[in-house]
Structure 1
Amino acid sequence: MRKSLIYAALTTVLFGTSCSEQYLDQINTNPTAASAANLNPNYLLTDAQLNFANAGYAQLLYPATAIQGLASTFNYYGNGDKYVNAGGFTGYQGLIFGQGYTSLSRLQQAIDVANAQSATRYANVIAVSNIMKVMIFQRITDTYGDIPYSQAVQATQGITTPQYDKQQDIYPALLTQLDAAIASLSTTAPVASGDLLYAGNVAQWKKLGYSLMVRVAMRMTKVNPTLARTYTEKAAAAGTMASYSDNAFIRGDIAFGDTQNATTNALLTTDDFREVKWSKTLIDYLNKTSDPRLGAIAEIPAAGRTNNANQALVGDNTPSLQRGLPNGYDQTGGAYDISKSPGYPGPTGNAGDLAPLGNYSRPRLAVYIQRNAPNFLLTYAETELLLAEAASRGWSVGSNAATHYANGVS
């Protein structure tokens, strides 16, 4: 009897399994998993915009010091400050590349998902994504020169090692791509609800698109002035940003670590907060030209090492007191120790509480060191200054150079 029961049980298992094979695909498929058929592409757009805008160390370690906007005596800032590779320099060098292509991948996914579901319904998601792609490709090629472009973000099509395109070919293609993307913006389709810049406002995106066209075109003035003029004049005639209310930015959100302003978080790192300053090159220029923005962007910390490290203690932003840190120095005691630089003002504080860099200007806390601070992608001021240059070349951009310049600095 016992054997009969065992045989019966085995028979049930074996034949039961055999009979249900036709349903295995259904059983092993997660009905709630995201797919191109059910994922809202707006989510991908949001992720791409945030990842691109929140650059953090990607813009600090090399670009900001290499152009002598910032200066630092600290080790890993030497990559851009002194052109000496230090720390995890290969990773630092690739930050803009990696972050850029991650964002581009998200945007391409948004486009693919939108097309899979309804190109008409998601027309503005596709248009906004394509405008963002131009902005991101420009940043990457401006940083690295020749980059993957024509075959980029096509892994789903089997292209996992895309060819590198020459920058001279990329720039004209960006203008063509941007022109088409702006034209595809729709006033009748639903707005791109995942848009962090303008909440999907199509009119605002057209202004941003044409302002971006000016930026891209004006990069070409020395290599292809004819094409640069054509697209700059086209953008000016179509309508670029008209005021500061048109600025393209994404505001940080202190609620979550990855939505906080990444540049602020980097500068609040103990070593960074102590040793990252405005450069002598920048501060000297602002002083020389009596630039009214000096007191808005810079401050001298309160005296002493303890006060210098206090991230809640504001400094003195009196313009006449501001002093920039010269690039190329360190605090290692050698020939390039900051204490040996010409004009070194000396430390602040008393014995036992000295701040070697205490007399140098840092980014003003109230403006730059806020976790909910905005990340600006393109502004009215930049656009107007570019149009001022275009007007000075005799191009037709709506107003003369003086007017555009005044708009840019007022």
Structure 2
Amino acid sequence: MIYTKKYISLAFAALLLSVSSCDKDFELINTNPNAATDLDPVYLLNNAQFASGNQAMHFYEGQIVQQVNTPFTGVVEAGNHNVLNDANTRSLWNGLYEGPVRNTVAIIEKTKADPNQSNIYNMARILKAYNFIVLVDSYGDVPYFEAGKGFVESTYLPKYDDQKAIYDDILKELQEATAALDPAKPTVIGGDIFYNGNIEKWRKLGNSLLLRAAMRFTEVDPTKADQWVDKAVAGPLMVSNDDNAFVRFNSPAYVHPTTSGLTATEKANFFAGEPFVNYLKTYNDPRAPYIVVRYSQRGTDSGGEINTNLADQFGLPYGYSDVTLPTAPGYRGSLDLYSQFRRTTVLNQNSPEFLVTYAQTQLLLAEAVQRGFITGDAKTYYETGIKAHMDQLKGYDATINIPEEVKNAYVQQPGILYDPATALEQINTQYWVASFRSWSEAWSNFRRTELPRLQPINYPGEDASVKGGFIRRLVYPNREVSVNQTNVNDAVSRMGANVLGTRLFWDK
């Protein structure tokens, strides 16, 4: 049996529930003025998926991992200068809590007692787990067990839960929900924008996400990481790019929120980061022409002439403002001579947003083998992950085709060729590349492994709490601190100061 729903567009679902807002109290976020429990769970799932993609690409985190950069201050300033910017940090919080969290909680509450809706119930549990991985990895202790229950239990100011306890429940939820998915039971067709109701693909997503969550424990509790990695690989994992979980922004009314900004109002202000460009250049990466380019007229809509020659690409160095940039070693003489991201591919306004990918999963498996958690051929996983990301670029432009012989030559060259002595660095540096645009995930993996080996961003006037040159977490939004003060204070007393430099439990 299947549940079939016809949708005119994502816009209809978005009209039912607000996707995001930059300026709401948590009391409002934790309620639902549109009575979500009275809406069809399929509509709620559709909206939760779309909103998850809407919040996946934040330039704040991309600056921290040194893939995107701007020398400017003001509204665009954040990770590039290790400074606090509430406008940027609160957008992720509000966007996830009032969108995916609220809607998945509503689905779970509405369907948990109905055997005929067990599949959408478990899909919602998996999607909820994904979003709370992002929230915990970004902020630390957050409302979890009471989150989104204002309309169910009249809990309008939810308590904050210990981040490790949340992760423990996420692991449990992913394992249980994935195992409970059943192709013999009714599914969802038309409203599931990930997989159109394909239960096997949802199982692969659940296990691949479980692998991601398990690997967060490698530095703080390797035994636990090992145990949960074993559970993840016992089930089906993603086996090709066809299994990728992504949201496609393919409507004139719903263009990608970040890429549309980077190609419009901010088209002259953002650049590719120097370490990222240098890495692509060092190994003559065949992905580079589709990612970094130079425009002759970067401030215009067309960009003018496009230069894809890799030798002519230069990333913008970190630790400088537009005033001090001329003092940077190797300064090019003008911002026009620094590389930006290609507008017709990775910054295409109708481009997809990838949440969990086959490439990432293969690279995590390579690391799991290298650490001795599982058996297998780490080299094969590693090379497969690299090639998978090269093929994934077709999602941005279907004409992109990196020939197999070019892929093979890339993975066989010195420095890229798998070397057990430097394997962890190789794997996680490629994970950094494969997570381009998925900057929340790139940042989390960087904090976990301290790889790739990036130079600290030591900017004059940076936040005093930032030690070692890198932001470790985002701070709670100012309004949340004001409205939910008692629960915020409890979290701070347990976790540590509400500052950019406080480390998460797995960030050791």
Shorter-chain TM-score range? 0.7 to 0.9
Distance 1:162 1:307, change over 3 A: closer
Query: What is the deviation of 1:41?
Result: 0.9
CA offsets per residue over residues 294-340 of structure 1, 9 Å max, x none? 222110112xxx45423364621122211100123222x4xx2x222
Gaps of 5+ in 2: 1-33, 388-508
Matches within 5 A, 1:146-295: 146-155=141-150, 156-193=152-189, 194-256=191-253, 259-270=254-265, 272-295=266-289
Q: Does 1:408 align with 2:420?
A: no
SS in structure 2 opposite 1:165? coil
Query: What is the deviation of 1:44?
Result: 0.7
Distance 1:112 1:173, change over 3 A: closer
Gaps of 5+ in 1: 1-33, 348-356
Query: What is the deviation of 1:143?
Result: 0.5
Is residue 245–residue 354 contact of structure 2 (8 Å, CA) maintained in 1? yes
Matches within 5 A, 1:2-13: none
Is residue 339–residue 346 contact of structure 1 (8 Å, CA) maintained in 2? yes
AA aligned to 1:322 is Q
CA distance in structure 2 between the partners assigned to 1:59 and 1:252 by the alignment: 16
Question: 1:374 — aligned with what?
Answer: 352
TM-score, with normalisation over the residues of structure 1?
Answer: 0.81
Matches within 5 A, 1:353-364: 357-364=335-342
- Taking only the aligned residue pairs, the percentage that are identical comes to 32
Q: Greater Rg, structure 1 or structure 2? A: 1
Q: Does 1:72 align with 2:59?
A: no
Deviates more, 1:313-322 or 1:167-176: 313-322
SS in structure 1 opposite 2:87? helix
CA distance in structure 2 between the partners assigned to 1:318 and 1:296 by the alignment: 11
Query: What is the deviation of 1:368?
Result: 1.9
Query: What is the deviation of 1:293?
Result: 2.0
Question: 1:28 — aligned with what?
Answer: none
SS in structure 1 opposite 2:246? strand
Count matched residues. 351
Is residue 295–residue 306 contact of structure 2 (8 Å, CA) maintained in 1? yes
CA distance in structure 2 between the partners assigned to 1:228 and 1:171 by the alignment: 12
Matches within 5 A, 1:38-57: 39-55=39-55
CA distance in structure 2 between the partners assigned to 1:246 and 1:316 by the alignment: 33
AA aligned to 2:142 is I
Question: 2:316 — aligned with what?
Answer: 325
CA distance in structure 1 between the partners assigned to 2:167 and 2:145 by the alignment: 12
Q: Does 1:135 align with 2:133?
A: no
CA distance in structure 2 between the partners assigned to 1:167 and 1:178 by the alignment: 16
CA distance in structure 1 between the partners assigned to 2:51 and 2:219 by the alignment: 32
Distance 1:309 1:327, change over 3 A: farther
CA distance in structure 2 between the partners assigned to 1:320 and 1:346 by the alignment: 17
SS in structure 2 opposite 1:238? coil
Distance 1:314 1:195, change over 3 A: farther
Question: 1:311 — aligned with what?
Answer: 302
Query: What is the deviation of 1:151?
Result: 2.2
Question: 1:59 — aligned with what?
Answer: 58
AA aligned to 1:373 is S
| Cα RMSD for the two superposed structures | 2.1
Q: Does 1:340 align with 2:337?
A: no
SS in structure 2 opposite 1:365? coil
Is residue 292–residue 339 contact of structure 2 (8 Å, CA) maintained in 1? yes
CA distance in structure 2 between the partners assigned to 1:343 and 1:309 by the alignment: 26
Q: Does 1:93 align with 2:89?
A: yes
CA distance in structure 2 between the partners assigned to 1:142 and 1:38 by the alignment: 32
CA distance in structure 1 between the partners assigned to 2:120 and 2:158 by the alignment: 25
SS in structure 2 opposite 1:107? helix
CA distance in structure 2 between the partners assigned to 1:329 and 1:226 by the alignment: 42
Distance 1:298 1:35, change over 3 A: closer
Is residue 295–residue 303 contact of structure 2 (8 Å, CA) maintained in 1? no
| Larger relative helix fraction | 1
SS in structure 1 opposite 2:380? helix
Question: 2:366 — aligned with what?
Answer: 388
Is residue 308–residue 358 contact of structure 1 (8 Å, CA) maintained in 2? no
Distance 1:224 1:371, change over 3 A: same
